[in-house]
Structure 1
Amino acid sequence: MNDLAIAAATRVLAENWRGTYTVPAAGLYPHQWSWDSGFIAIGLRHISPRRAQQELDSILSAQWDDGRLPQIVFNPRLDVQYSPGPSFWHSERIPGSPVVPTSGLIQPPNHALAVLLVHEADPETSARRRFLERAYPALRAWHDYLADRRTGASGLVHVVHPWESGMDNSPFWDGPLARIGESYEGDIPRPDLAHADASHRPSNAEYGKYLYLAARYRDHDCDDRDDGYPFVLEDPAVNALFIRSEWAMTRIAELLGEDPQPHRSRARALGESLDSLWDDQLGCYVARDAIAGRHERFRTVSGLLPLLVPELPRTERLLETLHSPHFGLGSAALVPSHDLTAPTFDSARYWRGPSWFNTAWLIAEALYERGYDDAARDLSSQMADLGLGHDFPEYVDPHTGEPRGTMKFSWTAALSLDLFERLHRSGETA
């Protein structure tokens, strides 16, 4: 990734900047998404640490009174360009919601990790703007929400909608969704299909279930206390990111002179609970349907992301699975979202096979931290090359590297920039 490539990635982020935040992609995703902003800030810190801080300030400013960070912060002028939009959620009617219109759902908690990395990029600017001082209370409330409102008897955080996992149509959700007989009774608008091939996106049948769940959650004021709610899943990636972000919180607390022990204790307790999702036969972590009490036994990239967890006891086995024919690290393009050998694999359809840049970044980050520098550099170089070569696509075909989804995708540009910086510091070029 040379100077021209850096300029190209920077241009994507500039084009998608909306004054205080970055949209994932113009057209298909015209609002602010929660974990997207975390990933985008990680790349923005190399261009403008101040703008990276603004990105995170923006999503933190949309926090609900109960501590949740919403999946989407809407631009109300663009209601019809994305579904379900602000007129579906009517968050202003829900007690405890912020002034800005948002979704009531959440996304994976990568924010504390992003805040720490952005601070470390320019500690002087961060200190002058009191960035950590502003972020820490919001992050603490966010993590308390997850621990208090979204954690069951297993000790793990659960999601109440496929969208909350960030991996919308993963095979993990097939069984739990099939058990739900209801579907959304209103129209199912699909403005996404004006920007992406229908064969690459979730189906209308899936969207009917998605909207049914979202409407039921909304109609209970998003209060997490609907005893008959039919979708409660423990996802390994969501919990791995929560654990990793609690470890980031220990460092943020130390920098602020706060007590890091509560964050350290929570991270370790979550790490112990995570072991309940381990599937020794598959060689990875799986999701658990908390309602049926059943593990959803699929190999997915979500089940590899616990590599990010410090003190993880199953690192070597996960690395074997990552390099095996199931995910083909080093031979496949990036890291497939689903087992290449599974009958449910689909190289084109969203989270059922294609390789995504954010999960590749997370795995590269884990490889670097664990000392697997050669594998990490190879993955970083491939990510930078595929990003630049295809105008920063949303995701790629894991067999051919062919671009899928929308182009000029913000986290692809941002995370490609971040990995280039790591390669550059180590004396490598992509």
Structure 2
Amino acid sequence: MTATTTGLPARVAEGASGDRAGRRDLRAAASRVLLANWTGASTVPSHTLYPHQWSWDSAFIAVGLARLSPRRAQRELETLLGAQWDDGRIPHIVFNPAVPHEAYFPSPDFWRSSTAGAAHGAPSDIETSGIVQPPVHALAAWLVHESDPETSGRRGFLERVYPRLTAWHGYLHSNRDLGGHGLASVLHPWEPGMDNSPCWDLPLERVDPAPATTFRRADLTHGDAADRPTDLDYGRYVRLATDYRDRGYTDAGTRHAFVVEDPGFNAFLIASEHALAAIALTLGQDPGPHRRRARALTTALVARLWHAEAGLFLCHDLRTDTPIAEKSVTGLLPLLVPDLPAPVVRALLRTASGEHFGLGSTTALAPSYDLRGHSFDSSRYWRGPAWFNINWAVERGLRQHGALTRADDLRQTILATSGASGFAEYVDPRTGRARGTTDFSWTAAVVLDLLARTEEPGEGADR
């Protein structure tokens, strides 16, 4: 594999897992990224491209921060949860009032959360967006606790976050089961996190784009247009967000142009329900409701979104009540679910290393989209590049289901590629070439977590 370097020491770029000095230097470099991106109460993904707090970014960041400063990791999540709406939703952006509006679009004056979201209990003193992102937060909170149970217990961390995380899941189970099949639905391509995935192309065709004159793309100031969504796609994103805002951010009882059941979003929800069960048990509360929800979600996930002929979980368009045939890495994320049927797990493992994703054979890291797909693009946002947080999740899923050697190989590749790319936002899945911005927070964060787990007992491969 070839990869670009950005002035990092060679042994950092290599991330040599067998070399203690290389691991130390990689850890130091990743730590510097998180320290530089810390704002005092939370961490920005990137000071240039993403200068506010993002929901699922903060969850991954907290997991890595826990290896650097458990107190700071706890504060990361608590700051995010401090912007939670009364209906339980955790908004996908919490805006920093010190950042000029022109630095990012859509800015607070677009979302108007404190007024447009008032009926659903949006904070009056904090501006946020009105949509959500994948529910990784309870899993992150549990991993933060596990990294230093003593500090967590002394500070009452779990006691403080547990009610908020339970309310967040309650919102998803009640307000977002728009199909009535027991799965959470997403209402905007930004909500499942894989913003520009080809999975959304067909559902977006029925959305009339907002005129280009009505929005300003601050992302192109700091990012290469070849790496970013097209103006047409962006216009459709703006239209969907505008319509949702103008309906007061109401979920049920209104018609949405984009309504999709996404397997990755629901896999994170299941993993986080299991985490809530562990948190409840630690706090002396009943874990039963969370375990029952996790089982029900798992049953619904397999029944609704598993497609044996594809060897993959597929997204489902609720507007047309049809599966979306595009093969995305979101369909591999149910490896995070511990109780999948064995035939499903075996098929997912074959698909991960097969011709569509090539993990461990033709690709260094799992691509975000089908290598053989008609829309594959190795550089454009979520249409092919590999993302480090997603590969962290895949690594975790492989390990959970006993594919230990493959998990070890992926872990080492994540470490090597992250250092070589300058902690890139995402990379070409075949070459490791950096795309997007560099010094990206969740890339550095998952590196810190993987390095720490490399040294923990029981994490080695089945050699």
Q: When the two structures are superposed, what TM-score results if normalisation uses the length of structure 2?
A: 0.91
Is structure 2 residue 114 aligned with structure 1 residue 92? yes
Hey, what does 2:26 align to over in structure 1? 5
Counterpart for residue 216 of structure 2: 189
Corresponding residue for 1:134?
160
Q: Does 1:414 align with 2:436?
A: no
* Distance in 2 of aligned mates of 1:92 and 1:128: 34
Q: Which of 14, 18, 21 lines up with 2:42 in the alignment?
A: 21
Contact 2:208–2:239, Cα closer than 8 Å, also in 1: no
1:311 equivalenced with 2:335 (yes/no)? no
Counterpart contact for 2:411–2:450, Cα < 8 Å = yes
Q: What amino acid is the match of 2:250?
A: D
The one-letter code matched in structure 2 to 1:83 is F
Retained in 2: the 8 A contact 1:13–1:22?
yes
The one-letter code matched in structure 1 to 2:332 is L
Q: Specify which of 217, 234, 259 is matched with residue 207 of structure 1.
A: 234
Q: Which moved more, 1:417-426 or 1:69-78?
A: 417-426
- Paired residues, number: 429
With 366-375 and 10-19 compared, the bigger mean Cα shift is at 366-375
Which residue identity does 2:266 align to in structure 1? N
2:422 maps to which of 382, 391, 410? 391
Match of 2:102 in 1: 80
Residues 113 and 128 in structure 2, CA contact (< 8 A), matched pair in contact too: yes
Instruction: Please name the residue that 1:351 is paired with.
Output: 382
- 1:140-180 per-residue CA deviation (whole Å, 9 max, x = no partner) reads 00000000100131111000000001000111111110022
> What secondary structure is seen at the aligned counterpart in 2 of 1:167?
coil
Instruction: Quote the residue 1:243 is aligned against.
Output: 270
Retained in 2: the 8 A contact 1:220–1:226?
Answer: no
Q: Distance in 1 between matches of 2:58 and 2:380?
A: 24
Task: Report the CA distance between 1:418 and its aligned residue.
Answer: 0.8
* Letter in structure 2 aligned against 1:305: L
Query: 1:216 and 2:237 equivalent?
Result: no
CA distance in 2, matches of 1:428, 1:194: 43
Q: Distance in 1 between matches of 2:297 and 2:211?
A: 35
Tell me the distance in 2 between the aligned counterparts of 1:253 and 1:283: 35
- Aligned counterparts of 2:27 and 2:245: Cα–Cα separation in 1: 42
Q: What is residue 296 of structure 1 aligned with on the other side?
A: 324
The equivalent position to 1:57 in structure 2, one of 75, 78, 85, is 78
Counterpart position of 2:252: 225
Amino acid paired to 1:336: P
Give the share of equivalent positions with the same residue, in percent: 52
Q: Distance in 2 between matches of 1:226 and 1:392?
A: 43
The CA deviation at 1:364 is 0.5
What is the aligned partner in structure 1 of residue 8 from structure 2? none
Q: Which amino acid aligns with 1:204?
A: D
SS at 1:164's partner residue?
Answer: coil
Letter in 1 for 2:177: T
Report Cα offsets for 1:340-367 as digits up to 9, x if no partner.
1111111111111000001000010111
Deviation track 1:195-214 (CA, whole Å, cap 9, x = no partner) reads: 11101100110010000000
Paired amino acid for 1:419: L
Q: Partner letter of residue 390 of structure 1? A: S
Is the partner of 1:120 in helix, strand or coil?
helix
Shift of residue 408, structure 1, vs aligned partner: 0.2
Which digits, 9 at most, give the CA deviation of each residue in 1:42-64, with x for residues without a partner? Answer: 11111111110010111111100
Q: Structure 1, residues 79-124: CA drift from partner, whole Å, max 9, x if none?
A: 2111001010111212111121000000000000000000011111
Q: Is the 8 A contact 1:300 1:337 kept in 2?
A: yes
AA matched with 1:255: T
Q: Distance in 1 between matches of 2:327 and 2:212?
A: 33
Aligned to 2:290: 263
Q: Bigger shift: 177-186 or 420-429?
A: 420-429
The SS at the match of 1:239 is helix
Contact 2:338–2:400 (Cα < 8 Å) also in 1: no
Shift of 1:278: 1.1
Q: Which runs of 5+ in 1 are unaligned?
A: none
Deviates more, 1:186-195 or 1:57-66: 186-195
- Whole-Å separation in 1 of the counterparts to 2:129 and 2:97: 12
Contact 1:184 1:211 in 2 (8 A): no
Measured in 2, the distance between the counterparts of 1:181 and 1:197 equals 25
Q: Deviations over 1:385-423 (max 9, x none)?
A: 111112100000012110000000000001011111122
Runs of 4+ more than 6 Å apart: none
* Partner of residue 41 from structure 1, selected from 57, 62, 72: 62
Q: Secondary structure at the match of 1:417?
A: helix
Letter in structure 2 aligned against 1:252:
I
1:71 aligned onto 2:84:
no
Q: Contact 1:361/1:415 (CA < 8 Å) preserved in 2?
A: yes
8 Å CA contact 1:333–1:396 kept in 2: the answer is no
Give per-residue Cα distances to partners, 1:203-251, cap 9 Å, x unaligned.
Answer: 1100100000001111111121352221111000000000110011111
Structure 2: which amino acid aligns with 1:118?
Answer: V
1:171 aligns with 2:198: yes
Q: Structure 1: how far apart are the matches of 2:58 and 2:171?
A: 19
Amino acid at match of 1:311: D
Cα distance in 1 for residues equivalent to 2:385 and 2:354: 17
| 8 Å contact kept, 2:134–2:265 | yes
Structure with the bigger RCO (C-alpha within 8 Å, sep 6+) is: 2
What's the CA shift for 1:329?
Answer: 1.1
* Native 8 Å contact 2:404 2:460 kept in 1: no
Distance 1:256 1:184, change over 3 A: farther
Give the CA RMSD over aligned residues.
1.3
Deviation at 1:299, TM superposition (A): 1.1
Structure 1 SS opposite 2:365 = coil
Q: Which amino acid aligns with 2:417?
A: L
Provide the rounded CA distance (Å) in 1 between the counterparts of 2:48 and 2:173: 35
- The letter for the 2-side match of 1:266 is R
Q: 1:326 aligns with which of 352, 356, 373?
A: 356
CA distance in 2, matches of 1:85, 1:252: 35
